[in-house]
Structure 1
Amino acid sequence: MRTRRPLVIVDALASLATAFKDIFPGSTTTSLTAAELSSLLESLGSRAAFKPKVLTLDESRLVALLYFGQPVAQGALLLDLRRPVRTSDSHFARAFCRVFNDDLTHVSAAWPLDEHWASLEQTRLRRSVARFLNYRPHKMSNWVRAMEDSMALTYEGRNVRHCLIIARKAPKLIQKLQNKFIPLPGGISIENALLREKWIRTVVDGRRVALLGSMHSGSIIGFISLAEVDRNDAALRYAPHETLVPVQAVLAHAAHDVALVASPQGDLFILSGKGSVFQKTHGHWRVLDYEALHERISSRFREDVVIGVLRAAIDLSFERTGALFCLLESREEITDLIPDHGHPLAANSHLRRSLRGQNISVWAQRQVITAAAATDGAVVLDKDGNVVDIACMVSSPKEISRLGVREPSMPGARSLAAWRASFRGVAVNVSEDGPITVYERGAEIGRIG
């Protein structure tokens, strides 16, 4: 048997490490040595014969195994999420690693990873998402690709932004939807509906109407009136945007159903009935783990306050609008953080006075707070979610000098303000490019996008 060159293993592990860092932001990766891999395989015993692609080692760590078409693993990568591993984490990591291993079998054993590998890499995450979501991954991958292609279309000068829900057991979903479903006699294949039927481009806007497709037949069978879908479900708190709560509510009826949604900003979102959310933005796929951010903050602040802040941040991220939210541990020495707080001649004084005391946990008040968050400056909240100040500039608090900490070089003024504010509580920074970063005591404790 020809011995596999170590360079190929090193290249593959480096490629896998890069992918996992994108999929699980904030995680760290380490390649296992030959001795560590041998010890791991020995501990697995007969389980190694089943080629487990990803194993959970402990509360926060996973290990991914690479086989290169061999009966025994040839390399392994340790992935530390730096947070508790959830079932969805291990399931998606397993789906991705399975696709990764399949791709390795198509690469020559004698050469480093080449242009063939690069072409596989471009579609790998899409194929992994399809495998994770569906029992027909090849079909699902084709539907996702058709959705991507449809986003390049226009209708009467407007970009096409479809919303498609694909049901595994369509008759059961239709029964639950009742009069919210309008059938399409004869049906149309999903690809034809997305790419060739021009009338669909104006009917299906993702706000009022969504297409319903059958996973079994691969065809569009009707329309769903989203306006009539009940939104009152605590499990729906973190849809990618508040306008997509009805779509997520439809998915709540079945774990294996999937929604493909094109945003007005040109991003593609994939929502599953399992609660997972994937996003393609700037040509890259990401896993949006909203619950991970929730867990990082909920131990410090009330549940309704955390939901209100994250709901506002996620909506602004979807809209590609930058903002900064600061949750204070204490309102004491507020002028230390906001020098012009309460000053009669402060900038934006009318806005700041009118929103002071409004609560981000209250839906109607949150709408105004979220809109005002787009104004240059920070939204500063107390532990109960009340606005202390808004559209204000944040300075370096005394805590930083007391700790002898030097301010870091940050990519923008908002990021630096978030870092400063995090010494007085928790800061949630929303980038204009979409990512959401959470800071505490000067350290990044969570990130999505």
Structure 2
Amino acid sequence: MLLPEPTAEPEATTTPAAGSIEQEQDAGADERIAARLSNIFANVPSLAQVTVSVSDGVVTLAGLAPDEAAVDRAAAIAVGVEGVVTVENDIERDLSVDFEEGLGGFGERLSNFTQMLPLIAVALLVALLIIGFGYLLSSLTGIWRRLAPNSFLTELIRSAIRFVFVILGVVAALDMVGAGTLMGAVLGGAGVIGIALGFAMRDTVENYVASLMLSLRQPFRANDWVVIDQHEGRVIRLTSRATILMTLDGNHLRIPNSAVFKAVILNYTRNPERRFDFDLGIDADDDPTAARHLGVEVLKGLDFVLATPEPQARVEAVGDSNIVLRFLGWIDQRETDWYKARSQAIPAVKEALEGAGFAIPEPIYRLRVDPRSAPIATSGPALAASEAPARHAPAAATEEETDVKPADEIARMVEEERADREAGEKDLLDQSRPVE
């Protein structure tokens, strides 16, 4: 069985369609095709160096072109001319550097820039006028202070106005000089940079927003005695970054406002009336009701304890060998120091209970001795009951010990600190606004 001979594959060249090639060509057709293509290429700057030769409808292109797109364009033009059978494209890409043309382009750009100088000057003038109006508007502090509740928000509004008018001035200037594309790129880039900075400075932004909220809500006043989470002290000032406390031992403590805003705040100064309490134990055989009444009467007799609310006493717990009583009394912190009042109330009630025959027992332990064990050696003879140390009689209280006036050392230091820094860091605490 004979197999058919394989046919040759067609070459990958530009071939005319079937029946499109005439048998006889006009004698002047090649010249007309060459002239037509030469005229076309002469009017196209990128194809000015292309040469054309035609033989029996076959167009051969040679010469130089600046890029591959121009090479393909020349072949496409040649194919479109009537009478062209096929095109041999021998055009090469021009890889030479024309310094004269480059300098000429730079000169043209310089000339265009020189012609645009009046327009650029007008655009700059318009931008400066817009920005200047924004700064003038932001300088009207009286208006913004009436609208804003505090100085921090006033400064924030003024900064926002200046920023908005600066952006408007730049946009207007770029639009006047026809740099819309540049304006879009700048605004887009600014948006992307703003998002990136927002993520990178998340803590800073959170702290700034917390400062704004604290300045609006005013949770405390200057010199208030507060506890912020585990930090205790008197408030010196609230700044745009941190809350500054002076601890009870005289040290400065800066707490970031973001932490303050989320913290649990205990303010001892808001309510001048404050309660103190302490526990005392009596013997389990004693009457707790009588001991409670006696302790309350003793508290009522103390000058610094308020009559309203009245002092109280409660049975807190029943221990192994005693009954625990809790005594409570109220003081006015503006006239009485809390620590001093408690320190005087405890011994006063204790002495009254002991004087009335109530025993304040010590812990009792029961020891079981194994008779089979050897006696325990001691370092010395045991003390006889008669040799036990006698109790000291209560000493008379001195005038200093009976003084219950508020300790104002820390408060005085806070006031001095605020007075020394009046011209320094801005204080966002406003005494004229209500406290939260």
TM-score (norm 2): 0.20
TM-score (norm 1): 0.20
More strand by share: 1
